[in-house]
Every structure is written in structure tokens, then in C-alpha cells.
Amino acid sequence: MARYLRQLMRAHVVSRRFDPLILLWVALAAVLGFLVVNPLLRLILTSLEAPDTGTFTIANYLAAYGRPRYVQALWNSLWLGASVTVLCLFFALPIAWAVSRTDMPGKGAVRLMVLGAFITPPYLGAIGWILLAGPNAGWLNRLWMALTGAPEGVLDIYSFPGLTFIIAIYSFPYLFIFTASALDVVSSEMEDAANILGAGTLRTVLKVTLPMVLPAILGGAIVTFLETIALFGSPALIAIPARFNVVTTQLQQFFSPPVRSEVAAAYAVPLLLVTVAMFALQRRLIARKGFVALTGKGGERRLIALGPWRFVLLGYALFVLSLSVLLPYASLSQAALARAWGQGWSFANLTLGNFYYLLFEHETAGRSVVNSFLYAGAAACLAIGLSLSIAYIVNRRLLPFAGMLSFLCMAPFVVPGIVLAIAFYAAYAPPPLALYGTALILILAFTTRFLPIGYANASAAIRGINPEMEEAVRILGGGRLLAVRRVMAPLMKRSLVGAWLLVFIPATRELSTAMFLYGPRTRTMSVMLLDLSEEGNFERLAALGFLLLAATIVIVGVGFRLVGGDFMLRRGRS
């Protein structure tokens, strides 16, 4: 035995001067170069080139920002982002505080509905609200007219405040998650310390609790702002009929024939820069003082007794959540199942015809459902596979400069979806690849878009497993591959399913990236929804949205069963 071992050992004294892992590094770097670096580079180059000659020019920037209309759209976006953020603060902070720190009843239901708001594609909610608050015909307006006898409704969703509102009711979950997670680790002792010195509940909240979680709130506010200005679906549904533009709808107009992608690129670059700068700011906020509250063990936590006020808070939470979940879900399902939505709920008005039409009669709608799930599935697999390999190399320090790979994986986080789409267009629409309109370009763009989510989760999954688990395999005589197969893979299964779903779910509804890259046979559900909205047939539109929602709820439900608990509302997904 010993002699055999000795022979074996001599045979395996390998020279480490050339490591085959280097090849893997090169391959991964090439993939990331293709997905991340090249498109962004092409975006910037395109914005600086004359379209026909390819010579250097700043004419595109002059064209993009030369007209007051275009500058106004940028201004509208910033203004919209700010208003949405403020509104979200009003929605999110009281609910987060109530759920995390007080004895408000019904917390489970509230959390569940926040999750509901979180997974609702904002453009679907917008459609629901068009049915609720469309001028005169909307349900709430009709209710108002019936109650007061007024000749006209009071609500007009096709307005700047309307747009602000419907974006805010679906964006506030970000702030909720940031704030609630920060509050979750503030120990009661810190509040007790203020109480014992004579401060009442409200004063304690304002003077002690709030300052401790302020950095988290600011971080959440910045994310909300950036998500808002990058949003395409809701503005397309609301702002265009309301006759104003924001950056994203303006970008779309540069893309409608005659396509002026170089102007679009120039128009998008400042959006990219704003986003990068604000994320940098957010990181500094969170890295600096603030999270002192996170360092302690949290100490003991006790819930604040609110007395009768707890029902007031619950009422407020339910009010906000019915705005974002209950009412629009009701109006959407009613329309989806109606022959004519304006006729209201009645047996005669009930039909499944809308679904039948979409799935079997419409030329591309059925296909778009398949496409959405297919592309999302493929993108999730690619993103997780790529993230896992890189996270493993980085985490095990297998290669030098692996940190660069991880930086590239996280980089798309600061690229708005619509900018990424233009970048992909600039890089891969022209020959030689000419991928425009193919399934491949959509899959690759989705992969890139959600790579940061995949990477953050894959990396957390790997970090969650003590490397000694793997070393124990190796010292007993198993190679690295065996260790990965027999130990790492089984142990990471659950968290990887979670990570996969966290990429898959947003990819099924991704609109802003798909918008500029789809072709006649590669429409996704999200694109299809927008197309249908132009036809103005709300019953069919609602039916398609209903399908998307139902599928999402089923998938999230499956995720809960497999992965358990709060897997979507955890902080630090990205």
C-alpha cells in the first residue's frame, strides 16, 4: 500500500507553471467581454461617431440635446424620479416601521401583499389603474359620479401626478425592504435607553431609531429614484397619451423609424453617468457611518405596544396595499374575464374568450408567452452558470485578478435596462453578427441585465459553505471535481434554486431591454402587452396580463416551497 502510494505520488508531482485554469479565466473573461464590456464600449463609440462615415463627431450629442423638447424630457424624468421617491417614503416608512417594530396585527398579510406589489410588473399595475382611474370611464370615476351626481370624474390617470402615483405604488417595496431590514437589527435596548431618559414613543422614533436607519433609507431612496428614471413601461402607457415625454419614451422615439441609434446612444450616455454616480453615492452612504446598528448583535428585541393606534397603522397599510394590489388586481381580473369591461360584473358578461383568443387565435400572443418563459429560463441558466463559475474562482482564490471578473459581473447593475438594450443594439445589430431580432440577442441581453442578481446570490451561496467541506474531500483522496459534485452541489442546491428564480422572475417580465431588440417572431409577453395597449382592447390586454401574473404567482409559490421563507424580500439581493 505504502509503496503504491509513493509511486502514485511521484507520478502526480505536476509542474504548476502552466495552470489549465488560466484557460478557464480567459474563457470567462471573453464571455464577460462580450456581454458587458463590448456593448457599453460600442454604446459610447456609437454616440461619438457619424453614422455613415464613422468619423469622430459630437453632432449626435448636439442632436440629442439640441431641442428644448428633448431637454424637457430629461427634466421630466428627474422630476418624476424625485416625486416618486417622496411618495414612496410616505408609503414605505410607516409600514416598514409598523411591521418591524410594533405590535400591529396582520403583519403576515401585510408582508405578503408587499411581496405582491413587489412582483407585480409596474406596467400591469398601470393597466389596472387605467381601468380604475381612466378619465370618466374608470371605475373610481364612475363611482364618484354615481355618489355625487357630478357630470365628470375627478381622477385622470393620464397626467404627471397619475404617472407618479402608479409608479410609486409599485416602487415602494424597495424602500420597504431597505428600511425594514435596517429596523430589524436595531435593538430595543437602544430605544429603551431613550425611553428611560424620558422620551416618548414618537420622540424615540424620531430622535433615536430614525437616525440609525437613515443611511438605509437614503440608500433605498436612491434605488427608487434610479429605478423610476429607468422605467419604460408605465411611462409608455401613461405619458404618451398624456402628451409628455420622459427620457425612456424619448429614447423610444429615436428608435422609431427612421431609427437614429447614434442619437439614442448619445441621449442615453448621460442617463448612464447619472446612474453610475448615484450608485457610487449610495455605496458611500451605506459604507460610512450608518450601519453601526448592524454591527452589534442586535440585542434583545421587543415590540412597541401601540394601543389603539395599531389599528390606525394597519388601516393605513391596507389602504396603500389595496391601491397597489387589491384594486388593480380586481379591475384586471374583471376585464380579463369580461366581454366588455365597462359592463361590470355580471354573469352574462363573463367569458373565457379573451384567453382563448390570445392563446389560440392571435398570431403572436401565444408565442409571446412561450418566448417569455423560454428566454427567461435560458437567461437564468446562463447567468447562474456564469456567476457560479466566477464566484467559485473568486472565492477560492484560484486565480489572480479574479476580482476583475467579479467586478464585471456586478457592473450591469448600474446600467438601466433601456441603456443596455441600446448598447446591445449598437454592438450586435450591425453585421457581422446581425443578431437584431433574434432570440439569442434577447437571451444574452437578459443574461447581462440580471447577471448582478445571479452573481450576488451565487457568491453568497458559495460563501455560505465552509471551504473545509471541500478540503475534507480532497485530503481523503477526492479531486476538486469530485468535491464539487458530491459536496458543493448538493449543499448549494437550495440556494441556487432561489438564485435561479430571482433571475427568472424579473426576466419573464422584462420590458425595457426587450423593447429595442425584439423581432417579429421574438416578441415577449411584455412587448405584446404594450402592442395590445395600442390597439386599445383592454379585455385582451388584461387577459394577457392576468396570465403573466398568474404564472409569476405560481413560480414564486414554488420558490417558497423549495427555498422557503422570505427569499424574495431579503435585503442585499443585488
Partner 1 sequence: MTKLALVDLGRSFGQTAAVQSVSLALAPGEFVSLLGPSGCGKTTTLRMIAGFIKPTAGRIEMNGALLSDPHRVVPPEKRGMSMIFQSYAIWPNMTVRENVAFGLKLRRMPGEDMQRRLNLILDVVRLGALADRYPAELSGGQQQRVALARAIVIEPEVLLLDEPLSNLDANLREEMRAEIRRLHDEFRITTVYVTHDQSEAMVTSDRIVVMSQGRIEQVDDPVSLYNRPRTRFVAGFIGRTNFLDGHIDGGMAVFPGIAAPAGMVPGLKLAPRPVSFSVRPNTVALHRTQPAADGIWCFPGRIVERAFLGEHWDYGVQPDGSDLRLRVATSPQDVHGLGDAVWIGIDPARIVEIPPAESA
Residues in touch with partner 1 (CB under 8 A) = 2, 5-6, 8-10, 12-17, 466, 468-469, 471-479, 486-487, 490-491
In terms of C-beta distances under 8 Å and separation of at least 24 residues, what long-range contacts does 351-360 make, across chains too?
Answer: 354/539, 354/540, 354/542, 354/543, 355/543, 355/546, 355/547, 357/540, 357/543, 358/540, 358/543, 358/544, 358/547
Closest distance between partner 1 and the C-beta of residue 543, in Å? 44
Task: Give the nearer residue to partner 1 in terms of CB position, either 14 or 292.
Answer: 14
Burial string for 119-157 (b: 16+ CB within 10 Å, else e) reads bbbbbbbbbbbbbbbbbeebbbbbebeeeeeeeebebbb
> Are the C-beta atoms of residues 391 and 32 closer than 8 Å to each other?
no
Minimal distance, residue 491 CB to partner 1, in Å: 6
Shortest approach of partner 1 to residue 13 CB, angstroms?
5
Nearer to partner 1, 8 or 22 (CB): 8
Q: Please say whether the beta carbons of 127 and 533 come within 8 A.
A: yes
In contact, 136 and 152? CB cutoff 8 Å: yes
Q: Which is nearer to partner 1, 16 or 288 (CB)?
A: 16
Q: Which amino acid does the sequence have at 359?
A: L
Between residues 10 and 288, which has the closer beta carbon with respect to partner 1? 10
CB 489 within 8 A of CB 422: no
CB atoms within 10 A of CB 490: 9
φ and ψ at 345, to 5 degrees?
Answer: -75, 115
Q: Whose Cβ is closer to partner 1: residue 14's or residue 196's?
A: 14
Cell of 378: 435560458
Q: For partner 1, which is the closer residue by CB, 17 or 297?
A: 17
CB neighbours of residue 471 within 10 Å: 11
Contact 233, 526 (CB under 8 A): yes
Q: What whole-number distance in Å separates Cα of residue 81 and Cα of residue 236? A: 15
Residue whose CB is less far from partner 1, 491 or 555: 491
Rg for the chain, CA atoms, rounded: 26
- How far apart are CB 307 and partner 1 at their closest, in Å? 43
Residue 414 C-beta: closest distance to partner 1, Å: 31
What is the grid cell recorded at 345? 360584473
| Beta carbon nearer to partner 1, 45 or 460 | 460
Count CB-CB contacts under 10 A for residue 166.
28
Shortest Cβ 381–partner 1 spacing (Å): 23
Taking the complex as a whole, the smallest distance from the CB of residue 494 to partner 1 amounts, in Å, to 11
- Quick one: three-class SS letters along 150-183? CCCCCCCCCCHHHHHHHHHHHHHHHHHHHHHHHH
Which is nearest to 269 in space by CA: 84, 65, 513?
Answer: 65
Nearer to partner 1, 99 or 488 (CB): 488
Rounded Cα gap, residues 368 and 358, in angstroms: 10
> For residue 518, which phi and psi values (nearest 5 degrees)?
-75, 160
**What is the closest distance, in whole angstroms, from the C-beta atom of residue 2 to partner 1 in the complex?**
7
Minimum CB separation of residue 474 from partner 1 in Å reads 4
Measured from the CB atom, is 203 or 486 closer to partner 1?
486
CA distance 91 to 324: 11
CB of 399 to partner 1, least distance (A): 14
| Cβ closest to partner 1, residue 78 vs residue 487 | 487
* Distance (Å, whole) CA 107 – CA 314: 9
Q: Which is nearer to partner 1, 15 or 295 (CB)?
A: 15
Euclidean distance between CA atoms 514 and 500, whole angstroms = 20
What is the nearest approach in angstroms of partner 1 to the Cβ of residue 470?
8
Measured from the CB of residue 12, what is the shortest distance to partner 1 in angstroms? 5
The Cα–Cα gap between 88 and 274 comes to 21
